[in-house]
């Protein structure tokens, strides 16, 4: 733990897309710092979410589903948007492309819009999940790259729009992170080698790396930061 243990005590946090993967790790970090944390997601998750975190079913592509999940939350301090999908190779199909944008980009906007008044009451903050592919294209993932580029610009736009409400809006942009989604790349030296060769820190990132940076954006240390897209990529984007 790199933060004061009770840093977020008394805060109420919501993490969309948090029943598995990086979202679950972020939710675990928030709860460990004392925040009352609710995780939204589909299905049973992957078992990595701590037992003391409340998990609720929610489909970010449905306004009704989002509102139902938020029904008994009059106020919020922290909102994380981690819901996302990637469908390599299939995203050149327009219907698949639209599906990816609906989850990754429109879903992020839907949660931001639904929580704005709740955050305004507490002068809270939003952290979205962009990607290094917000800045680079991806031949196999045009929908993912387009949606994450959209998340970066959405973050900047909402930072301006929500500032008068006292709400800060930032994003993290993960690079090559060791998760089940990237396991095939990690296990293939021919593909992993060039990735690590271009990464100055010469290692794959971890979900904990992303979570610690993301949590920073909602701490008092980041109180004068909004509209920031924070790379968590080991320096990949600067080479």
Summarised one tens digit per residue, pLDDT across range 157-205 is 999 999 999 999 999 999 999 998 899 999 999 999 999 999 999 999 9
Q: Which residue has the higher pLDDT, 2 or 227?
A: 227
Q: pLDDT band for 136, please (50, 70, 90 cuts).
A: very high
Residue 146 falls inside a structural domain: yes
Domain that holds residue 210: 12-232
Query: Which CATH number fits the domain that encloses residue 62?
Result: 3.40.50.720
Q: Tell me, yes or no, whether 160 lies in a domain.
A: yes
Establish if 239 belongs to a structural domain.
no
All residues at 6 or more sequence positions from 225 whose CB lies less than 8 Å from its CB, including other chains: 168, 170, 217
pLDDT, tens only, 93-129: 999 999 999 999 999 999 999 999 999 999 999 999 9
> For the chain, what is the mean pLDDT?
96
Q: What is the per-residue pLDDT for 47?
A: 83
Whole-prediction pTM? 0.96
Q: Looking at the DSSP assignment, which residues form a beta bridge with residue 39?
A: 15, 55
Confirm whether 238 is domain-assigned: no
The answer as to whether 4 is a domain residue is no
The verdict on residue 137 lying in a domain is yes
Q: Please state the domain count of the chain.
A: 1
CB 128 within 8 A of CB 82: no
Name the band, by pLDDT with cuts 50, 70 and 90, for residue 1: low
- Positions annotated as catalytic residues are 144
- Count CB atoms within 10 A of the CB of residue 35: 25
Q: What pLDDT, on the 0 to 100 scale, is given for residue 6?
A: 92
For the ranges 2-11, 24-33, 224-233, the lowest mean pLDDT is seen at 2-11
- Burial (0-12, 13-18, 19+ Cβ within 10 Å), 115: buried
Q: Report how far residue 235's alpha carbon sits from residue 32's, in angstroms, rounded to the nearest whole number.
A: 28
Q: Are 174 and 22 in contact, with CB atoms under 8 Å apart?
A: yes
Write down the pLDDT at residue 230: 98
pLDDT digits (tens, 9 = 90+) for 28-47: 999 999 999 999 999 877 88
């Amino acid at each position: 733990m790199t933060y004061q243990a009770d840093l977020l005590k008394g805060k109420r946090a919501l993490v969309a897309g948090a029943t598995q993967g990086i979202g679950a790790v972020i939710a675990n970090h928030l709860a460990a710092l004392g925040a009352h944390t609710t995780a939204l997601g589909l299905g049973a998750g992957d078992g990595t979410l701590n037992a003391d975190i409340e998990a609720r079913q929610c489909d970010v592509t449905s306004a009704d589903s989002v509102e139902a999940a938020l029904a008994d939350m009059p106020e919020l301090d922290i909102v994380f948007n981690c819901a996302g999908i990637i469908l390599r190779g299939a995203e050149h199909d327009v219907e698949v492309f639209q599906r990816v944008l609906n989850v990754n980009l429109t879903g992020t906007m839907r949660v931001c819009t639904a929580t704005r008044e709740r955050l305004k009451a507490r002068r809270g903050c939003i952290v979205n999940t962009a990607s290094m592919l917000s800045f680079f294209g991806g031949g196999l993932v045009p929908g993912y790259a387009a949606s994450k580029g959209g998340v970066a610009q959405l973050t900047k736009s909402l930072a301006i729009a929500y500032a008068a409400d006292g709400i800060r809006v930032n994003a993290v942009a993960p690079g090559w992170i060791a998760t089940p989604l990237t396991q095939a790349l990690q296990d293939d030296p021919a593909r992993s080698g060039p990735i690590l060769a271009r990464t100055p820190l010469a290692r794959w990132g971890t979900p904990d790396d992303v979570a610690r940076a993301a949590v920073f954006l909602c701490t008092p240390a980041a109180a004068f930061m909004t509209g920031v897209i924070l790379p968590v990529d080991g320096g990949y984007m600067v080479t």
